[in-house]
Amino acid sequence: MTAQPRPSAHPLPRNGYDVAEVRKDFPILSRQVHGKPLTYLDSAASAQKPRAVIDAMRRLMEEDYSNVHRGVHTLSQRSTDLYEAVRDKVAAFLNAPARETIVFTRNATEAFNLVAQSWGRTNLGPGDEIVLSEMEHHANIVPWQLLQAERGFAIKVAPVDDRGAFPMDRFVDLLGPRTKLVSLAHASNVLGTITPAAEIARICRERGITVMFDGSQAAVHMPVDMKAIDPDFYVFTGHKLYGPTGIGVLYGRRETLATMPPWQGGGDMIQSVSFKGTTFKEPPERFEAGTPPIIETIGLGAAIDYVTDLGMDAIGAHERALLHHATMRMEQLEGARIIGTAPGKAAILSFTIEGVHPHDIGSLLDRAGIAVRVGRHCAEPLMDRFGVGATARASFGLYNTVEEADRLVDAVKAVQEFFA
């Protein structure tokens, strides 16, 4: 079963898409907040959902819903077909070599915990080292720390420089004969920095090191290609990709997945169960215990169709233009500091304003209808690295406009005046 080519809902102008048309696909974008039009600049925390996703989930429940992998009746088969078709869609979206490399999880965090508890528990022990970076989300720190307490390996931390760029030489210096795993953000949720995943994976492969990427912030901004990167593991989450919450993806190289024991037990992941002993299914089913998030998976499939239809290249180009515009204007505000200025970064703009705490910035911007995230962004070590307790973060999605970027900077200027 493979995803069928679909007629495009948004015939593209030469250089991208018509953002005004695209915005009509997202019902929530027409609402107001505090009497002002919603300016949603928090897609890096969670993106809004197009009508296509909402409808696909509703349609499943109204017309085709049942449990999957367990019935001979029509609805069960229909749900199973739709559910498994999404595995093909995800494989195509990631340009993965096979559908069996796609494991459905609850979110990116669960994918990290799966790899830590299954691969990590089997392969990491005293004397071993793993390498993370300063810009990791807590989801790529804490699961390793939990395992470290039990297995006693060492965690090394690759630095970022003052611009937030990832110096490859400093990273390579950390690799040694004891390095078993490298696990890095493909794009930072605070800095927007994009790491050279294919190069990193090649270096790791040459040294026999297992390599994993957190694609939560990358897969939403650009095409990602498993055949080109060829990592052992790659994870992303559905809700940042304009899909629903409750569904994430773990890509695992087939040979690596094959060596891994189950991490959760239950129905659906077993071959045969007896009190004398139980045998397990092959990957990916081995890692999907219990009834999966069926409705959410269908929503993710619709989200992938939606972004594929617009084109990940077009989305990335649109967002880069917004980031460039917002950055240019923000740089002109005296007292504004942009955290993360690495070349080629993703459309994430973290900033601080001299004399105004990010929390106050967030409260004021909300009054102007502007949604940004403020705080530590689940990346406390990175906040310490840049000597800030917190930042404000505007993140751009496929539906944002230049007017919204202007609205942000104008409002930040008004915040400065308010606290002057």
Partner 1 sequence: MFDDLRDLYQEVILDHSKRPRNFRHPPDANHQAKGENPLCGDRLIVYLTVDGDGRIADAAFLGNGCAISKASASLMTELVKGKSAAEAKALFTGFHDLCTCDDPPPLSDLVREEDLEKLHVLSGVRQFPVRVKCATLAWHAMDAAMAGAAKASTE
Which residues are at the interface with partner 1 (CB under 8 A)? 355-360, 363-364, 367-368, 374-376, 383, 389-390, 411, 414-415, 418-419
Q: Based on the number of CB atoms within 10 Å of its own CB, is 355 exposed (0-12), middle (13-18) or buried (19 or more)? A: exposed
108 or 411: CB nearest partner 1: 411
168 or 364: CB nearest partner 1: 364
- Shortest distance in whole angstroms from residue 143 CB to partner 1: 18
Alpha-carbon torsion, ordered 235, 307, 344, 368, to 10 deg: -100
To the query of whether residue 378 is one of the catalytic residues in this protein, the response is yes
- Beta carbons within 10 angstroms of residue 202's beta carbon: 14
- List the alpha helices (DSSP H) in 61-141: 74-93, 108-115, 121-123
- Shortest distance in whole angstroms from residue 184 CB to partner 1: 24
187 or 353: CB nearest partner 1: 353
- Beta carbons within 10 angstroms of residue 227's beta carbon: 9
* DSSP state letters, 179-233: EEEEEEESB-TTT--B--HHHHHHHHHHTT-EEEEE-TTTTTTS---HHHH--SE
257 or 390: CB nearest partner 1: 390
Burial 118-133 (b: 16+ CB within 10 A, else e): bbbbebbeeebbbbbb
Selecting among 90, 108, 378, 379, the annotated active-site residue is: 378
- Shortest distance in whole angstroms from residue 412 CB to partner 1: 11
121 or 413: CB nearest partner 1: 413
Contact status, residue 170 vs residue 208, Cβ threshold 8 Å: no
- Shortest distance in whole angstroms from residue 367 CB to partner 1: 6
Helix, strand or coil, per DSSP, at residue 356: strand
Contact status, residue 317 vs residue 74, Cβ threshold 8 Å: no
- Shortest distance in whole angstroms from residue 415 CB to partner 1: 8
181 or 392: CB nearest partner 1: 392
Quick one: angle between helices 74-93 and 294-310, nearest 10? 40
- Shortest distance in whole angstroms from residue 375 CB to partner 1: 5
Long-range contacts of 264-273 (CB under 8 A, 24+ apart): 264/289, 264/290, 265/289, 266/290, 267/291, 268/69, 268/70, 268/292
Q: Known catalytic residues? A: 378
